[in-house]
Structure 1
Amino acid sequence: TRIPVLPKVLEALHSELDKMLEQGLVEPSHAAWASPVVMVRKSDGTYRACLDFRKVNSVTAKDSYPMPNLSQILDGLRQARYLSKIDLKQAFLQVPLADEESRDITSFIVPSRGLFRYRVMPFGLCNSPATFQRLVDEIFGPEVW
């Protein structure tokens, strides 16, 4: 069942799409499938576009790369002489999707604008955390924690 989209919500979606296109995060797509976009109202009354990847995630082979254990990290930090902190703003969006198939999996429909796909790893894919952790481990090595 199609649910009508309020004009102000559609305007917010179009504005978000324009920003993502300008930043090079998304591009037009010709994929055979697409995930729905869900507009979530934030506490300040504005809207955030979220992709509903549940169907994609249900047929995706799960990446079993180990995630760090917070207790072990904290135990290791007790003996540290120096500490450093890095804040990676929207970290997943820093990871490019190199191949066409990976990009097509992220396709989504924007009413009255068409079909688009991510050029970078979006939030919401079940393997995004494991992929990002693998990259962090490759860059910083085992001593990061």
Structure 2
Amino acid sequence: MEDLGIILKSDSPYASPVVVVKKKDGGYRICIDFQRLNKISVTDPQRVPSPAETLLAMSEDKYFPRLTLTKDYHQICLRPPDVHKAAFVTMGQHYMFQLMPFGIDLGVNFL
């Protein structure tokens, strides 16, 4: 992820823990536990339109682009002032995300 520019080395005062979670198929997934960060997040006052509102707004459009993203949570840039808050520690190394990681609530502004 560092080579892809998703994470950077960090000296942030924030540090969410890395945890191993057992999957339904018996395998394991490495995750970052952002629960404490999410608890101190404030909901963004801008409302996201519902799918029905979005479809209604497009009802008279003639052309629709098609975009398929894999790992879509790594496609959204974090706001520069918030990058240090998405930090984590693993194996003695401290990193922070530049792109939205899985597990951080979307539609929030951090304190």
TM-score normalised by the chain length of structure 2: 0.72
| Residue of structure 1 in register with 2:36 after alignment | 55
Number of equivalent positions = 109
- Residue 27 of structure 1 contacts residue 118 of structure 1 at CA under 8 Å; is this kept in 2? yes
Please give the residue correspondences for 1:1-145 in structure 2 after superposition, counting only pairs within 5 Å. 20-75=1-56, 81-97=62-78, 99=80, 101-110=81-90, 112-126=91-105, 128-129=106-107
- Residue 73 of structure 2 contacts residue 102 of structure 2 at CA under 8 Å; is this kept in 1? yes
Distance 1:83 1:95, change over 3 A: closer
Q: CA deviation at 1:34?
A: 0.8
Q: CA deviation at 1:59?
A: 1.4
Structure 2: state its 5+ residue gaps. none
Q: Percentage identity across aligned positions?
A: 28
TM-score normalised by the chain length of structure 1: 0.58
Distance 1:98 1:72, change over 3 A: closer
Instruction: Tell me which protein shows more helix as a share of its residues.
Output: 1
Instruction: Tell me which protein shows more strand as a share of its residues.
Output: 2
- Residue 67 of structure 1 contacts residue 130 of structure 1 at CA under 8 Å; is this kept in 2? no
CA separation in 1, counterparts of 2:11 and 2:26? Answer: 33
- CA deviation map 1:20-47 (0-9, x unaligned): 1221211211112211122223345543
Structure 1: state its 5+ residue gaps. 1-19, 132-145
Instruction: Single out whichever of 74-83 and 52-61 deviates more from structure 2.
Output: 74-83
Relative contact order, CA 8 A, sep 6+: which one is greater?
2
- C-alpha RMSD of matched pairs (Å): 2.7
**Structure with the greater alpha carbon radius of gyration:** 1
SS for the counterpart of 1:102 is: helix
- Residue 66 of structure 1 contacts residue 130 of structure 1 at CA under 8 Å; is this kept in 2? no
